[in-house]
Amino acid sequence: MKKRIVIIGGVAAGAGAATKARRTNEASEIIIYEQGEYVSFANCGLPYYVGEVIPQREDLFLITPERFKRRFNIDVKIKHRVTDIDPVKKEVTVEDLTGGTRFQQPYDELVIATGGEPVRPPLPGVELDNIFTLWTVPDADAVKGYIDRERPRRAVVIGGGFIGLEMVENLLQRGIEVTLVEKANQVLPPLDWDMALLIEKHLVEKGVDVILEDGVKAFNGSGQLEQVELESGKRIDADLAILSIGVRPRLELAEKAGVLIGDSGGIVVNSRMQTSVPHIYAAGDIVEKRHLVSGRKVRIPLAGPANKEARVAGANAAGGYMEFRGVLGTAIVKVCDLTVAVTGLNERDAKDAGFDYFVSYTHSQDHAGYYPGAETMTIKVLVDKRTARLIGAQIVGPRGVDKRIDVFATAIYSQLTVEDLEHLDLAYAPPFGSAKDPAIIAGFVAANIYRGEYEAITPEELLKVVNSGEDVQLVDVRSPEEYDGGHIPGAVNIPLDQLRDRLDELDKGKTVYTYCAIGYRSYQACKLLDHHGFKPINLSGGYLHFSRRLPKE
């Protein structure tokens, strides 16, 4: 059946909906209206173009309007802004930005894919020339052009989310001194604080001045930014500022058309991406989605879900039948020499959703330790205490993070338990992994905790015990050399290989808290102590994870 399908927005969701609609129905007339100059560009690549990691600007463009027409018979109207939707007449009002004319465009089915726009708070001085956001190709052109032309020495990045961290890295790549300002008490909010701390410390090692729990009060300068003034009173000299404090969905058109907006701040859609108004679909950053673990409605603006939603909206608008199931919030970002990834629930969300869960930390090398170049990654998993189901995972490390986070995302999607993780059959060769893959090791450790084979304590919980003033029986089972290099205050050193012969030094009437570097030797110590009638508890993640909370000496 021939239909006229109108799509508002021509970037990821809009372009994806259009091409899927064409593959579903060859007879349909398909029109995209995009208010900008470009369609289907790689906005995730913009920071790397600024940093000259992607040297050619043309590489950012996935497909041109001409190719849309030639290959898909889709009409793309750039520099055309849709200003109104009339769902009764089933038509949209379009403004041609090149000539200023307006016209009405009828539709049979409408897809709203207007995406988001960066937040630009109304702070004093925010309109100074050298303060930028990074969301579109013109934004990237402006930032890169300014850097190429003016050669700034000092930059301030406001906001420690994905784009903010990518900009920090790429400004460093351009030889610019960077200060990162974040209002929260951590960078990268989807992570838990303890994992975000690894990123913060890495940035500091790279020379970044990281300022947390402080916001911008004003931008000072005459015509050009000269100084960023913070709410604390601190002033930072700067030749350049990047605003990266969030993205708000463009909902104005949908709201005027009477489309229902959910509590998450996104458009309410069903699994077929249909809105509350007949014949209107929506996809991408503007819609709310069902979280596959918590079951709650969330708005997670990521490219992966946006593209899948676009396929569903486009297919259904063209007369097909597809459904979108939901999201896990799986995300990954490169921060200088680290890779950071997350999937499922973090601790804040798990508590908010009412889960009774436990946490397990492991430190594993990305490939066999005897093969050159092995690097250690830190893995944190959240496990439902009742069912043993994996509900969240976070990883920070130099290499191999991408492979493992996708294993965890697949496991969470499939509702696997940590006991299932123990039995995964994953590829192994020394250059690529270990016979006991990091994902499987995480399963081993978490499954041991779930089955009650030993009791574990998190660094936060142990820190409370150490600071409680109680007479704590804390045993460091590392070597004397490791112990002398730094240890938890109050710990006694009984190396694992000596523990069996020195049991008389411990009090069976008290709990024994054991730890080593990463938790493996102290796990063995726990098993030994348990067999001899002690009550041992092992520090999950070991001294390596605990020490990150200790003040620098």
Please provide the DSSP assignment of 345-400 as one string: --HHHHHHTT--EEEEEEEEESS-TTSTT--EEEEEEEEETTT-BEEEEEEEESSS
Query: Which residues are within 8 A (CB) of 252 and not within 5 positions of it... i.e. 6 or more apart?
Result: none
What CATH superfamily classification does 337-451 receive?
FAD/NAD(P)-binding domain (3.50.50.60)
- Residue ranges in the chain whose pLDDT is less than 50: 552-553
Chain centroid offset of residue 13 CA: 19
What is the predicted pLDDT for the residue at 471?
Answer: 82
Which residue, 538, 204, 516, 544, is CA-closest to 378?
544
What is the predicted pLDDT for the residue at 1?
Answer: 67
Pick the CATH number of 4-43+53-115+248-317 from 3.50.50.60, 1.10.3720.10, 1.10.443.10, 3.40.980.10: 3.50.50.60
Pick the CATH number of 131-245 from 2.30.30.40, 3.90.1200.10, 3.50.50.60, 1.20.58.760: 3.50.50.60
Question: What is this structure's pTM?
Answer: 0.94
In single-letter form, the type of residue at position 212 comes to L
Query: Which residues are within 8 A (CB) of 151 and not within 5 positions of it... i.e. 6 or more apart?
Result: none
Q: Which CATH fold would you assign to the domain 455-549?
A: Oxidized Rhodanese; domain 1 (3.40.250)
The full set of domain ranges for the chain reads: 4-43+53-115+248-317, 131-245, 337-451, 455-549
Is 336 a catalytic site residue? no
Whether the domain at 4-43+53-115+248-317 and the domain at 131-245 fall into the same CATH topology: yes
Q: Give the integer Cα–Cα distance in Å for 143 and 460.
A: 41
What is the predicted pLDDT for the residue at 553?
Answer: 42
Out of 44, 336, 516, 526, the active site residue is 44
Q: Give the integer Cα–Cα distance in Å for 283 and 286.
A: 7
What angle in degrees, to the nearest 10, is found between the helix axes of 12-24 and 65-72?
A: 10
